Amino acid sequence: MLENGFFFAGISRRSFLKTVTAATAMMGLDFTMTAQVAEAAESDSRPPVIWLHFQECTGCSESLIRASHPDVATLILDMISLDYHETLMAGSGHQAEEALHKTMEEYAGKYILIVEGAVPLKDNGIYCKVAGKTAKDSLEEVAEHAAHIISIGTCASFGGVAAADPNPTQAVPASDVLKDRAVINIPGCPPSPYNLLSTILNLLTFNRLPELDKMNRPMFAYGRKIHEHCERRPHFDAGRFAEKFGDENHSEGYCLYKLGCKGPATFANCMTLKFNDVNVWPISVGHPCIGCTEPDLAFHMSIFDKVQIHNPTPPDHYPDTLDNGEKKGADPVTTAVIGGVAGAALGASAMVAKKLPNNLEDADKRNKELEDEE
């Protein structure tokens, strides 16, 4: 697997270790575990993977293989033996079917099944067929002898866009079909390739499922809300909101809550992982989070509707947000309610103080006061 001791899967040893170290940290493991994780990644016993496509846009596969920084994709594709993938495999027709059945027979109980896309149930599932079989039948057949099952993307995890109202094909997630199996959900539209990498590394290293939340998402990737570490959080806490796309507040980089940002109700790690290895993500470029990792937000709730923020404990007031004292987009009631929640519950005042613009001395002072009170 290691060529000349310096390269793994066509990437340098340094990049390999860097990627594995990042994945180890992502899994919430101690850094001393990096060697064990690297050993599992380098192992010659590559688990066979059958990757099924159902109702989806192939965006999850696309985002994986077209990563601007190739190490993660390369590593994943070299750690596993991708025996069947309807988009990527060279074979087609009967040849492809043979590859599928050969893997299922030779590696019964050992292969990993990755599902991309939702499964239509209406009219006996006729709205998605491959090789004459409905998605439901294929899924049940391949899942029967799979060692582990991973749903990649929001469609496979929760139904996604295919299940959006009025859900004309009665699309459901893979877990609704495989009710008696543990299905690991890696939602996202698309999900970060790092989340798939870390999940596979976890299976390879420990041969067991990672800790999952109640939606069957790995806790290491979906254990925190976007809002908890959002770079616009200081503006939220100080009551500075964009009111319309393109307005002055939007240009200033203020909080996107009033534009419908679902960050306060969305569990994901986009805010720390970012996308495309160029350190951006939707919120950083001015688009509200659409809540694509949640079952009931993206594709089910209007992009502009605001999510509820619970248990508010607002402070008395928030300071003015302009030099001249005019409040700039800060609705006192809303601001007090939503700003207070986060500040009190999550103790973000330190971040607020650090990131406040220079002309907001009053706000700065108030936030320092809040910090001291905590």
Rounded to whole angstroms, the Cα distance separating 279 from 273 reads 8
Quick check: 306 binds ligand SF4 (CB under 6 A)? Answer: no
Least gap, CB of 236 to ligand SF4 (angstroms) = 4
Q: Give the residue, chosen from 261, 273, 292, 360, that forms a contact with ligand SF4 under the rule CB under 6 A.
A: 261
The span of 53-61, 211-219, 252-260, 344-352 binding ligand SF4 (CB under 6 A) equals: 252-260
Q: Give the residue, chosen from 263, 314, 329, 343, that forms a contact with ligand SF4 under the rule CB under 6 A.
A: 263
The span of 18-26, 46-54, 253-261, 355-363 binding ligand SF4 (CB under 6 A) equals: 253-261
Residue 202 tokens read as 């976890």
Q: Give the residue, chosen from 75, 289, 352, 353, that forms a contact with ligand SF4 under the rule CB under 6 A.
A: 289
* Beta strand 112-116 pairing with 48-53: parallel
The answer to whether the CB of 171 falls within 8 A of the CB of 165 is no
Which residues, in sequence order, are bridge partners of residue 11? 8
Between residues 217 and 306, which has the closer beta carbon with respect to ligand SF4?
306
- Select the residue whose beta carbon is closest to ligand SF4 and give its number: 263
Neighbouring C-alpha atoms within 13 Å toward the C-beta of 55? 30
Give burial (CB, 10 Å; 0-12/13-18/19+) of 358: exposed
Quick check: 268 binds ligand SF4 (CB under 6 A)? Answer: no
Quick check: 297 binds ligand SF4 (CB under 6 A)? Answer: no
The full 3-state SS of 139-197, as one line of letters, equals HHHHHHCCCEEEEEHHHHHHCHHHHCCCCCCCEECHHHHCCCCCEEEECCCCCCHHHHH
Quick check: 257 binds ligand SF4 (CB under 6 A)? Answer: yes
Of 133, 124, 108, 107, the closest CA to residue 53 belongs to 133
Residue 308 tokens read as 């509820």
- The span from the first CA to the last CA of the chain, in angstroms, equals 53
Between residues 64 and 268, which has the closer beta carbon with respect to ligand SF4?
268
Binding residues for ligand SF4, total number by CB under 6 A: 14
Quick check: 353 binds ligand SF4 (CB under 6 A)? Answer: no
The answer to whether the CB of 241 falls within 8 A of the CB of 329 is yes
Quick check: 196 binds ligand SF4 (CB under 6 A)? Answer: no
Quick check: 270 binds ligand SF4 (CB under 6 A)? Answer: no
Quick check: 112 binds ligand SF4 (CB under 6 A)? Answer: no
C-beta neighbour count of 340 within 10 angstroms: 21
Rounded to whole angstroms, the Cα distance separating 259 from 52 reads 36
The span of 11-19, 86-94, 176-184, 224-232 binding ligand SF4 (CB under 6 A) equals: 224-232
Q: Give the residue, chosen from 41, 114, 118, 226, that forms a contact with ligand SF4 under the rule CB under 6 A.
A: 226
Least gap, CB of 185 to ligand SF4 (angstroms) = 22
Q: Give the residue, chosen from 227, 240, 328, 366, that forms a contact with ligand SF4 under the rule CB under 6 A.
A: 227
Orientation of helix 71-79 relative to helix 13-26, angle to 10°: 80
Least gap, CB of 262 to ligand SF4 (angstroms) = 7
Quick check: 256 binds ligand SF4 (CB under 6 A)? Answer: yes
Provide the binding-site residues for ligand SF4, judged by CB under 6 A.
226-227, 230, 232-233, 236, 255-257, 261, 263-264, 283, 289
